[in-house]
Amino acid sequence: MAKKAKAYVLDTWAVIAYLEDEPSGEQVEDLIATAHEEQIPLYMSVVNVGEVWYTLAREISEEEANASVKSLRDLRIQFEPADWETTQEAARFKSRHKMSYADAFAAALTKSLKAELVTGDHEFKPLDGEIKIAWV
């Protein structure tokens, strides 16, 4: 039997899939619902929340971006600040792997929380094993 996750970290890819009703968004929605049922905490790095915000502001509007961030808060996703330890770990991931800096923050938060990263972004493939990944 698979071990229950201690916590989940949502990356930008997963959240955009969820918010824009992409095919993988349904899997993300199911995972969020299961996390709530099983009282598994959900987290995002504020860096990734910012990436979601600017993506939606650019593609749609600032109003839509604000509403989407509010809906993430309503889902009880905890926004984690980027302290020095997390920033240094993100920089370490970025220095070793070909990935965006925002993705490096999601990976660093996942590692520090001993959580499971929720993503479908293939940039994380080289980290599979270094961090736990729930592929959607």
What digits encode the pLDDT tens for the residues 62-81? 999 999 999 999 999 999 99
Average pLDDT of span 109-119: 97
CB 37: neighbour CB atoms within 10 A?
Answer: 8
In this prediction, residue 118 carries a pLDDT of: 98
Q: How confident is the model at residue 107 (pLDDT cuts 50, 70, 90)?
A: very high
In this prediction the pTM is 0.94
Residues 87-95: contacts with CB under 8 Å, at least 24 apart? 90/47, 93/127
The more confident residue out of 121 and 4 is: 121
Domain annotation for the chain: domains and CATH numbers:
8-135 (3.40.50.1010)
In this prediction, residue 2 carries a pLDDT of: 57
Helices (H), the chain: 12-19, 25-37, 46-59, 62-74, 84-96, 101-113
Instruction: Tell me which residue has tokens 């991931």.
Output: 93
